[in-house]
Amino acid sequence: MGKVGVGLAVGCAAVACVIAAAVVGRRVRRRRTWRRAVVVLEELEQGCAAAVGRLRQVVDAMAVEMHAGLASEGGSKLKMLLTFVDSLPHGSEKGTYYALDLGGTNFRVLRVQLGGNSSAILEHDVEQKPIPQDLMTSTSEDLFDFIASSLKEFVEKEGDPELSSVKRRELGFTFSFPVKQTSVSSGILIKWTKGFSIENLVGKDVSECLEQAISKRGLDMRVAALVNDTVGTLALGHYHDEDTVAAVIIGTGMVVNMEWGNFWSSHMPRMSYDVDLDADSPNPNDQGFEKMISGMYLGDIVRRVILRMSQESDVFGPVSSKLSVPFILRTPFMAAMHEDDSPDLRDVARILNDVLEIPDVPLKVRKLVVNVCDVVTRRAARLAAAGIVGILKKIGRDGSGGITSARIKTGSPSKIQRTVVAIEGGLYTSYSIFREYLNEAMAEILGEEVSPHVILKVTEDGSGIGAALLAASNSSPSVDSVKLL
Ligand code: ADP
Ligand code: MG
């Protein structure tokens, strides 16, 4: 009995020891695996760091590349495409004009009524729809049929007898892909970007293709201006404020009239996630800047980091197959997680569960995810700021006295010209932390003396309304265009 008792006691002690060892082992493993997840974040932070010194190198590289791109065709990754827009709308334009805005996530149709006296837009209507995914890789005919039918529906809703009787309507076409313009109203598509890939349109005149689709629908409409979204935004910015010297779109793609999405500099902090994203894209070695800073890609960079964390640790439980689906984590989801201000990070948990099918993520791991979003967004916003200052440097408005000086030559040396940059795009306008980081980096790079003189002005719907303005200022007087007033 005693033996049994002792035996039992020893047995219990041994079991207790085994249990204790298992618990300690699990804790150590959990700590180790947590540590591995933290290491992934730390490496990301180091790899994405963009201190002001590095940003200044990017600024210089941008200005130099712009110079090289202007000096000779093919002289830089920056295409510096001529727009044939030799004057910007000045406020005396009058009448009703239409615009189409194609070039990213959404497709917009607009009608703009211009008053004819100083910068009065009497009214504008916009209709927006997402571009069906299948059309982005379909044929030119399918794409333009979709556009023309949307346009026709929109025109038919005019409801104004005077307008309906007008034969020909003038259209500004915002087509935000690299185009070699042949006139202010025509141009050849050089290549696709931003996930579009319709091979039979490359090398063709996009205005001609659009006009064909429009006339097939029995609509009498002429492309009076073919522009890129930044040119449209610049036109509207300048219409309202003549100190506007440049325009930037921070949305799906990143372009100024120089197609800066393709900018590249070895000074940019690049990581393995960027290399992999590029290799997996339909356009490898292309659009390097765009892939680090635009709304199309930021969510996917975050997805890749979470996937690595999940593979290297067990903080997310078993690796979710959703983490391997490209672009499943769209940038607005990323922004929603980043901007979640609930104490228990409820939105982060919901998005991880609903989008990535990772349930029951503990709070400290949710915080890790927020940190990942923060690092990726901060790098993007800071690089975008450096890009903008690079443009200002090239045109002598960054106060550095670089290529030409920002200071008014005849005035006192402390007088700095007011400089406005028109800015548009969902990433900047809807993602407040991105916007704050961008503004903060601009101030850091420019310094406190110059920075108050550089104003980033949101120009809502600028790319579309601006195209209508350019259609107005470029419409041929012989055309029986809509004249309401
Ligand atoms: P489009 O591409 O249709 O011209 P925008 O230039 O406004 O439209 O850009 C849309 C892009 O902005 C999308 O790629 C999306 O990732 C980003 N975006 C839109 N809303 C948000 C948001 N709330 N937070 C972060 N990014 C956003
Ligand atoms: Mg746009």
Per residue, the 3-state secondary structure of the chain, as one string, reads: CHHHHHHHHHHHHHHHHHHHHHHHHHHHHHHHHHHHHHHHHHHHHHHHCCCHHHHHHHHHHHHHHHHHHHHCCCCCCCCCCCCCCCCCCCCCCEEEEEEEEECCCEEEEEEEEEECCCCCEEEEEEEEEECCHHHHHCCHHHHHHHHHHHHHHHHHCCCCHHHHHCCCEEEEEEECCCEEEEECCEEEECCCCCCCCCHHHCCCEHHHHHHHHHHHCCCCEEEEEEECHHHHHHHHHHHHCCCEEEEEEECCCEECCCCHHHCCCCCCCCCHHHHHHHHHCCCCCCCHHHHHHCCCCHHHHHHHHHHHHHHHCCCCCCCCHHHHCCCCCCHHHHHHHHCCCCCCCHHHHHHHHHCCCCCCCCHHHHHHHHHHHHHHHHHHHHHHHHHHHHHHHHCCCCCCCCCCCCECCCCCCCCECCEEEEEECHHHHHCHHHHHHHHHHHHHHHHHHHHHHEEEEECCCHHHHHHHHHHHHHCCCCCCCCCCC
Q: Atom of ligand 1 at shortest distance to CA of 434?
A: 25
Catalytic residue at 176? Answer: yes
Rounded mean pLDDT of 281-304?
A: 96
Report whether pLDDT(233) > 90.
yes
Cα 413 to middle of ligand 2, angstroms: 39
Find the range with the poorest average confidence among 34-38, 116-120, 395-399: 116-120
Ligand 1 pocket, CB under 6 A? 103-106, 249, 251-252, 295-296, 331-332, 335, 425-427, 430-431
The whole-number pLDDT of residue 21 equals 65
Please check the confidence at residue 483 and state whether its pLDDT lies above 80: no
Residue 123's pLDDT band, with cuts at 50, 70 and 90, is confident
Q: Is 108 tagged catalytic? A: yes
The phi, psi pair for 189, rounded to 5°, reads: -70, 125
Tell me, what's the pLDDT at 165? 61
CB 126 within 8 A of CB 157: no
Q: What is the pLDDT of residue 1?
A: 33
Residue 164 confidence (pLDDT):
58
Confidence of residue 156 (pLDDT cuts 50, 70, 90): confident
Residue 26: pLDDT band by 50, 70, 90 thresholds? confident
Give pLDDT tens digits for 179-232. Answer: 999 999 999 999 999 889 999 999 999 999 999 999 999 999 999 999 999 999
pLDDT value at residue 22: 67
Q: Is the pLDDT of residue 272 over 90?
A: yes
In angstroms, the CA 360 to CA 362 distance is: 6
pLDDT of 89 > 90? The answer is no
Tell me the pTM: 0.88
pLDDT at 83: 86
Distance (Å) of CA 461 to CA 117, 230, 311, 335: 21, 11, 42, 21
Ligand approaching nearest to the C-alpha of 464: 2
pLDDT per residue as tens digits for the range 356-369: 999 999 999 999 99
Averaged pLDDT for residues 443-455? 96
Q: Do domains 39-80+241-402+417-460 and 94-227 have the same CATH topology?
A: no
Q: Whose CA is nearest to atom 25 of ligand 1?
A: 332
By the 10 Å C-beta count (0-12 exposed, 13-18 middle, 19+ buried), 276 is classed as middle
Which residue CA neighbors atom 12 of ligand 1 most closely? 426
Instruction: Note the pLDDT of residue 13.
Output: 53
- pLDDT reading at 427 higher than 60: yes
Please give all residues whose CB falls under 5 A of ion ligand 2, grouped by chain where several chains appear: 104, 229, 463
Is the pLDDT at 482 greater than 80? The verdict is no
Q: How far apart are CA 404 and CA 417, in angstroms?
A: 13
pLDDT at 412 over 80: no
Judge whether residue 15 has pLDDT over 70: no
> Distance between CA atoms of 147 and 13, rounded to whole angstroms?
78
- Over range 118-143, report the average pLDDT: 88
pLDDT band at 17 (very low <50, low <70, confident <90, very high): low
Residue 421: per-residue pLDDT: 94
State the pLDDT at residue 274.
98
Per-residue pLDDT band for 119 (boundaries 50, 70, 90) equals: low
The rounded Å distance from CA 458 to ligand 2 centre is: 13
pLDDT at 415: 72
The CATH classification number of 39-80+241-402+417-460 equals 3.40.367.20
Query: For position 115, what pLDDT does the model report?
Result: 85
- The mean pLDDT of 98-126, rounded to a whole number, is 86
On average, the pLDDT of the chain sits at 87
For residue 409, give both structure tokens. Answer: 């030559």
CATH topology of domain 94-227: Nucleotidyltransferase; domain 5 (3.30.420)
Please indicate whether residue 378 or residue 461 has the higher confidence score (pLDDT).
378
pLDDT-derived band at 106 (thresholds 50, 70, 90) equals confident
> What residues are paired with 172 via a beta bridge?
99, 225
Q: What is the pLDDT of residue 18?
A: 62
378 in catalytic set: no
Instruction: Give the domain ranges of the chain.
Output: 39-80+241-402+417-460, 94-227
331 CA distance to ligand 1 centroid (A)? 8
Structure tokens given for 155: 């025109």
Note the pLDDT of residue 253: 54
Share of the chain above pLDDT 90, in %: 67
**Are the beta carbons of 466 and 234 closer than 8 angstroms?**
yes
